[in-house]
């Protein structure tokens, strides 16, 4: 028996080590999981692209005498300004000219959003406090050889308010930039009304210059098709609450593969139909209010009830409309006409309010 102990003891010892190894196996796998989590975190933190793009430092510099900007230099001098320097955009390589321009020589594009006096005064005050005008305007050639700023209307107005003689600008010979700048505008956040009005004014200008081009070819300039429709409505009624109709329009409004001049006429009819629907919505809300129903979500509730595509959920990657916009507007108008206010209860409104709060 005594001879067996030396044999058994090593076996027990090996078995114990095997069990311990099994218990520690999850710990050994953990380091393999951590790198994957770290990569996911890196994506969440906007990790730089692996492939570098754009120009090298030596390629950015551009002399004022370069052919790409020579004509623009002449325009600047004729306008009473002074070219300061030129360079190539480090991303796309397009030529740009830094210049000092008289305020009187620069005008906002005619299709820009309306000027906000309140924002202009606040902006002028902050510029004055900083004692520096640090954000140059973006300027392109406009109609009849003029100079347009597609995204500096408030800074331009603030400069005039401060009595500036000159203003700095990045001048581009690419005139089409005036129609693509809306997506880059961060001077003052656009609300839905601002965007819609700017887009419809832009569309009219483009239709006038080249109305034969398809509406869909301007998708980058217009951002979203419903902005065109809402813009037409806002022109008729600046107090229109387009936000409540936006979810509906996003499901049915698409850019058309027809000439822009033609589609604008079609959209005028869509806008008229939407104005009629809104008139019925107001009538319904007034009737519900008269019955004692009170809720900040009352109008949104009515619009959702008459929305013929409210339950439509597009499959991933499917960009087709839930139904043609003309058909959807006809159905929505009909639903608003036959809306039964007697079937609405406070419980319905409470359900809508709960849904709205959970979505915030």
Token digits for 14? 């090996």
pLDDT at 53 over 80: yes
Note the pTM of the prediction, 2 decimals: 0.56
Q: Which domains does the chain have, with CATH numbers?
A: 57-184 (3.90.1530.10), 192-359 (no CATH)
DSSP letter assigned to residue 214? B
**76 or 10: which leads in pLDDT:** 76
Mean pLDDT across the stretch 242-251? 94
Half-sphere exposure of 241 (CA within 13 A, CB side): 10
Distance CA 329, CA 254 (A): 14
pLDDT at 97 over 50: yes
φ, ψ (nearest 5 deg) of residue 209: -80, -35
109, 178 contact by CB (below 8 A): yes
pLDDT at 113 over 90: no
Mean pLDDT across the stretch 124-131? 88
Exposed, middle or buried, 98 (CB in 10 Å: 0-12/13-18/19+)?
A: middle
Confidence label for 332 from pLDDT (cuts 50, 70 and 90): very high
Mean pLDDT across the stretch 5-16? 42
pLDDT of 320 reads 93
Confidence label for 159 from pLDDT (cuts 50, 70 and 90): very high
pLDDT at 30 over 80: no
What are the pLDDT digits (tens) for 186-198?
444 568 998 899 8
């Amino acid at each position: 028996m005594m001879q067996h102990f030396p044999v058994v003891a090593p076996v027990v010892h090996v078995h114990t080590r095997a069990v311990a190894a099994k218990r520690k196996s999850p710990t050994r796998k953990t380091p393999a999981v951590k790198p994957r989590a770290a990569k996911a975190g890196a994506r969440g933190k906007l990790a730089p692209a692996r492939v570098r793009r754009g120009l090298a430092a030596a390629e950015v510099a551009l002399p004022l005498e370069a052919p790409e900007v020579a004509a623009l230099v002449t325009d600047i001098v004729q306008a009473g300004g002074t070219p300061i320097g030129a360079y190539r955009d480090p991303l796309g390589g397009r030529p740009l000219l830094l210049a000092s321009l008289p305020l009187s020589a620069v005008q906002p594009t005619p299709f820009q959003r309306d000027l906000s006096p309140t924002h202009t005064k606040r902006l002028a005050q902050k510029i004055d406090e900083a004692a520096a005008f640090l954000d140059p305007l973006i300027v392109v050639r406009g109609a009849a050889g003029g100079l347009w700023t597609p995204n500096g209307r408030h800074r331009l107005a603030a400069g005039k308010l401060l009595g500036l003689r000159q203003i700095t600008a990045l001048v581009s010979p690419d005139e089409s930039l005036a129609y693509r700048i809306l997506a880059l505008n961060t001077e003052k956040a656009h609300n839905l009304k601002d965007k819609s009005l700017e887009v419809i004014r832009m569309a009219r200008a483009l239709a006038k210059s080249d109305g034969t081009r398809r509406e869909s070819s301007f998708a980058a300039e217009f951002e979203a098709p419903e902005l065109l429709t809402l813009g037409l409505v806002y022109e008729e009624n600046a107090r229109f609450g387009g936000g409540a109709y936006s979810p509906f329009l996003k499901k049915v409004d698409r850019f058309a593969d027809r000439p822009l001049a033609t589609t604008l006429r079609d959209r005028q009819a869509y806008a008229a139909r939407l104005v009629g629907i809104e008139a019925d919505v107001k009538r319904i809300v007034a009737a519900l209010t008269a019955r004692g129903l009170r809720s900040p979500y009352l109008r949104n509730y009515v619009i959702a009830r008459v929305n013929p595509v409210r339950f439509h959920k597009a499959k991933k990657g499917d960009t087709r409309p839930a139904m043609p916009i003309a058909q959807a507007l006809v159905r929505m108008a009909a639903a608003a006409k036959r809306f039964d206010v007697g079937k609405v209860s406070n419980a319905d409104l409470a359900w809508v309010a709960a849904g709205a709060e959970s979505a915030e």
